[in-house]
């Protein structure tokens, strides 16, 4: 499809050829994007590959907290492990029973196996692992390990100076 342009050829002819090539590529891209983002059913994930549920990871002064969007996943279908500084979360979101004969017009929810793993940013107490649910989310809580005293805040340092006076 690409053609070399000889500087001796008519520049208007070369410009028209390039413009036509660009229009063809633009149309092909538009067709691909329409097919990809169409409102019709999208392909389900390949069996065995699973999906990755959205996850936020944040910390407080005392904890590392993972917030996972796992609406529809029962606690019995969730496994959470800590291995060598890595948090592994695996499970299954099962399809809803009672809808065996269905015809999709749109399919955006992922079902089946899922898995996430995260290198824990700080040492944590593995035995402190707690799993809570909150409005369809799962919170995985891990208490941080502190060597000696907790890190002092600026206010703690100011209070200590005040007590020395």
Q: What is the pTM of this model?
A: 0.59
115-135: average pLDDT:
92
Give residue for tokens 């996430």: 116
User: What pLDDT was estimated at residue 146?
Assistant: 80
Q: Which architecture does CATH list for 55-143?
A: Sandwich (2.60)
| Among the listed residues 140, 90, 141, 142, the one whose alpha carbon sits nearest the alpha carbon of residue 115 | 90
Would you give the DSSP letter of residue 51?
Answer: B
- Across the range 25-37, mean pLDDT stands at 67
Query: How many CB atoms are located within 10 Å of the residue 124 CB?
Result: 19
Q: Which helix (H) or strand (E) holds 138?
A: strand 137-143
Strands 130-134 vs 55-59: parallel, antiparallel or unpaired: unpaired
For residues 41 and 104, is the Cβ–Cβ distance under 8 A? Answer: yes
Note the pLDDT of residue 39. Answer: 44
């Amino acid at each position: 499809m690409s053609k070399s342009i000889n500087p001796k050829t008519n520049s208007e002819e070369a410009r028209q050829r390039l413009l036509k090539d660009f229009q063809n590529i633009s149309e092909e891209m538009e067709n691909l994007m329409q097919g990809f983002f169409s409102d019709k059913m999208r392909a389900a994930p390949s069996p065995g590959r699973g999906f990755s549920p959205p996850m936020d990871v944040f910390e407080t002064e005392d904890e590392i907290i993972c917030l996972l969007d796992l609406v529809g996943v029962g606690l019995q279908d969730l496994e959470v492990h800590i291995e060598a500084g890595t948090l592994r979360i695996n499970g299954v979101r099962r399809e809803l029973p009672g809808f065996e004969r269905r015809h999709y017009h749109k399919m955006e929810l992922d079902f089946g196996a899922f898995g996430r793993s995260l290198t824990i940013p700080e040492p944590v107490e593995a035995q402190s692992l707690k799993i809570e649910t909150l409005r369809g989310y799962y919170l995985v809580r891990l208490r941080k390990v502190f060597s000696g005293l907790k890190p002092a805040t600026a206010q703690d340092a100011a209070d200590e100076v005040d007590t020395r006076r």
